[in-house]
Structure 1
Amino acid sequence: MEKITNYIFLILLSVFVFSSCIDEIKEALDTTGDVDIHAFSINGVEGEINNENSTITVILPAGSALTNLIPQITVADEAVVKPGSGEAIDFLDSNGNLKVVTYTVSNKDLYQKYQVTVDVARAKITKFKIGSVEADIDEVNKKITIYLPVSTDVATLIPVVEFTEGATITPSSGSVVDFTNPVTFTLDYLGSIFTYEVKVILGEKPKPVLMIYDGETVSPTWTSIASTINNGYINPKTDGINTTFNCISILRKKEDTDDGGRPWSGGALWNENKVNIDPSEYGKFTLMVLKNVAGDVQLEIQSNGEQNKDWLKASYSADALGEWQELTFTIPTGRTAIINNILVAPHVVDVIGDPDFSTHMMYWDQLKAIPKANNSSIKPTAVFIGNSITEFWERENPSFFSSNNYLCKGIAGQRTDEMLARFDKDIVAWKPSIAVIMGGINDIAQNKTIEQIRDNIAAMATKAKQNNIKPIICSATPISGIPWNTSITNAPQLVVNLNILLKQYADDNGIEWVDYHTLLKDTENGLAVQYRANGNDLVHFSKSAYDVMGPAIKNAIERLNN
């Protein structure tokens, strides 16, 4: 018992001595220093200081730089802050992301750390509704589009708008607005202004393009049909119009076998990978194909149970062998049966008796269903007619067309005489205010004269005028060569010569002229490298090229409409 009592005494003595030491340390430390940040400003903008969680937030005007900023910091007289007041600091990291910077205030025997964030004012419209209909918001281009029933009185609409808390909006949410013409809505937030153009269109909202297969984000498994399909095959040519990494491949054989030697040899999407496409809503398919021999490609479409079959064909052109070509397959107008199965045969040709055909790989990719034209009561402002340069514009930047009420009627591979042949159907029938005409590259590639091209474009402009449509003639765009016809060695100069003829015709006839060539050319009148598709295509464009072309043509359209 005595031994236990001694142990307890020693423990109590140790606690007493330790507590005494702590008290002595506390008495030795000076904890009276002020370690608060009293003010923190950048470019005259005061930061919001939260001393409870030691954070500071500074919101600069929209568009302000967030690097090499010089904060002005106020602390107590004897306190020291690091980084110091007046010291240049970056509030973005090397990837352009916001970076939190730690500031430490020391005074006597105390210190405090503050986490400082600097950003620019950001305000946006998050929801826009009229009645029960919600609009589409294009945040990149600050465009809002809403589709309402044809009978709607657009002059007395009441939009309900949700937007960034703390901002004010004009016109105000819930007020009566006349949408006969597009209306600008303005957000005012922390001294910065943000504007959106809002457009009301009467009619049905157009369906988006339906991606069925792209090998990446949408990648159902294809079933082999009289062949051996390679799903997820590496794209053999990413420097053209198809830059996706994966595609479908098949070895098309010359021998009459069920392993790639039949005209119908190919692949199918059916069973667990079937589709559900209503031909009343979708009017055609497009498919990227690459092979080294010209000839028809076939899409067979079926309903469940392999019923209601239709065979759609499109020709892979000899003018661009070994290149990705986007082919268009039109669904028969009389078809009403739902499409559930799609079978692709990349070379629906009997090759057994063809001495020039040899066994080789064929590829396909980017299968899309294209919706029928929007049933809108408002005619398009402008319709664009052209070749692949025009067609791919809508693919690269669809909102440029939808948000401006433009229609794209480009068809890859077409010459100007082919455009002229469909001008009534694809331009006049739509009754637009303006027809935007551009072409000529495929004519040059097929050895047509620049005079023939000029005459075809002039005929289109004349048709437009006869139908009270204002034409705009656009320059042929620069090219650095014609990969599918290397016998033409002076292609860049031919384009220059063509544009001289076209501009002269436009000037002589009082027609609006838009010069894309000057905007996109390099020092040798070819297509500048920064505007080439994937950096290597001598003819086709990257999105950055279309971003340059867009303002030029939009300004011309607005001039004609005023």
Structure 2
Amino acid sequence: MKKILILSVLLQALTLSAFAQDWAELARYQEANQALLAGEEDPSRVVFMGNSIFERWESTCPEFFAGSYVCRGISGQTTPQMLIRFKQDVVHLNPSVVVILGGTNDIAGNTGPSTLEMIEDNLSSMAEIATANGIKVVMCQLLPAYSYGWAPDVDPRQDIIDLNQWIKEYADAHGYPCVDFYTPMVNPFKALKVEYSVGDGVHPNEAGYAVMAPLVEAAIEQAMAGSSIATQTADDPDIEVWGGKSVIHVKTQAADHLSIYTPDGVCVAEYDLPAGISNLDMAPGTYLVKSLKSTRKIQVR
């Protein structure tokens, strides 16, 4: 009995040691990545970067990932772990689009205490890395959860709502499609609907994934359609402008005046904008957006 106990302790120590050496689980998809890159280039490739919600999606509905969709979800992962492996498991695969879902395990404290600001920093960093590498971004709001079976002292309900609000605002500000998984799957108790849960109140069942699939596919289609994001000019660092779907997104540090022109020089709109984020409704097309200091060319879908 004593020998068995000692052996069990040693095995646990070895497991913890191995995890500590590969904290972000970079080894998990290395072989799959190599096999993928050895094949033909796929211009419509979409990588799903996330946690168990995505990992279970592939195992529950393998047909969903039978084409150009590539799952890179790892159960239990937090956003700092996802950020560490983002270049390996996303950027190096040369996808057209990345779908990002993360944060619920951070709220649960899987890798230690985490504030919402820390989660937001990690999510925005992944989006920035993708954009810098020419990859379109789809942001996902978290699914509802009343509690976590593995972290019974944590009440995640308000944190999920607050983080989802930030995700939506960040996506809108940067012209990224945002998938609302929360609204169609939440019940009056701010919990995952029973009919969409495997029974733990956190993970979707096949019916839940059937709700999620058309939502994320619509967002991917929107991202694929594309919009050009104007490059920030050195002479006007206090204003950011993006083209989106039927809207021009503007973020200003101070009040500014914007004039919007067609490519042939016809002024179609003028705005006196306060500091902050403004969303200007526009018909699809190409526009020249002039602030007090600079001009940008914007494509609205």
TM-score by length of 2: 0.65
CA distance in 2, matches of 1:542, 1:481: 17
Report whether the alignment pairs 1:262 with 2:2: no
- Give the superposition deviation at 1:401: 1.1
Q: Match of 2:272?
A: none
Report whether the alignment pairs 1:376 with 2:39: yes
CA contact (8 A) 1:314 1:329 kept: no
Corresponding residue SS for 2:3? coil
CA contact (8 A) 2:33 2:93 kept: no
- Give the superposition deviation at 1:378: 2.4
Deviations 1:214-268 (A, max 9, x none): xxxxxxxxxxxxxxxxxxxxxxxxxxxxxxxxxxxxxxx5x125xx6524999xx
Report whether the alignment pairs 1:452 with 2:118: yes
Deviations 1:262-286 (A, max 9, x none): 24999xxxxxxxxxxxxxxxxxxxx
Deviations 1:36-67 (A, max 9, x none): xxxxxxxxxxxxxxxxxxxxxxxxxxxxxxxx
CA distance in 1, matches of 2:28, 2:118: 29
- Give the superposition deviation at 1:390: 1.1
Match of 2:87 among 424, 430, 449: 424
Mark the structure with the bigger radius of gyration: 1
Q: Match of 1:515?
A: 180
Matches within 5 A, 1:36-185: none
Q: Match of 2:146?
A: 480
CA distance in 2, matches of 1:406, 1:439: 18
CA distance in 1, matches of 2:65, 2:209: 12
State the aligned residue count.
216
CA distance in 1, matches of 2:171, 2:29: 38
CA distance in 1, matches of 2:82, 2:29: 21
Corresponding residue SS for 1:523? coil
CA distance in 2, matches of 1:517, 1:296: 39
- Give the superposition deviation at 1:532: 1.1
Partner letter of residue 479 of structure 1? Answer: A
CA distance in 2, matches of 1:458, 1:265: 40
Where structure 1 has 5 or more consecutive residues not aligned to the other structure, the ranges are: 1-252, 267-293, 299-311, 316-326, 334-369
CA distance in 1, matches of 2:33, 2:94: 20
Report whether the alignment pairs 1:560 with 2:216: no
Report whether the alignment pairs 1:388 with 2:52: yes
CA distance in 1, matches of 2:176, 2:195: 30
CA contact (8 A) 2:137 2:223 kept: no
Matches within 5 A, 1:1-12: none
Q: Match of 1:499?
A: 164
- Give the superposition deviation at 1:295: 5.2
Which structure has the highest helix share of the two? Answer: 2
Alpha carbons of 1:331 and 1:433: their partners in 2 closer, same or farther (altered >3 Å)?
closer
CA contact (8 A) 1:414 1:442 kept: yes
Q: Match of 1:171?
A: none
What is the percentage of aligned positions where both structures have the same residue?
34
Alpha carbons of 1:529 and 1:296: their partners in 2 closer, same or farther (altered >3 Å)?
farther
CA distance in 2, matches of 1:423, 1:431: 12
Which structure has the highest strand share of the two? Answer: 1
CA contact (8 A) 1:314 1:328 kept: no
CA distance in 1, matches of 2:29, 2:127: 31
- Give the superposition deviation at 1:424: 0.7
Corresponding residue SS for 2:7? coil
CA distance in 2, matches of 1:549, 1:413: 20
Partner letter of residue 465 of structure 1? Answer: T
Alpha carbons of 1:503 and 1:387: their partners in 2 closer, same or farther (altered >3 Å)?
same
Matches within 5 A, 1:300-315: 313-314=18-19
Matches within 5 A, 1:245-324: 255-257=2-4, 261-263=6-8, 296-297=14-15, 313-314=18-19
TM-score by length of 1: 0.36
Alpha carbons of 1:532 and 1:426: their partners in 2 closer, same or farther (altered >3 Å)?
same
Report whether the alignment pairs 1:527 with 2:192: yes
Alpha carbons of 1:561 and 1:488: their partners in 2 closer, same or farther (altered >3 Å)?
same
Deviations 1:56-108 (A, max 9, x none): xxxxxxxxxxxxxxxxxxxxxxxxxxxxxxxxxxxxxxxxxxxxxxxxxxxxx
- Give the superposition deviation at 1:559: 2.0
- Give the superposition deviation at 1:313: 4.7
CA contact (8 A) 1:313 1:329 kept: no
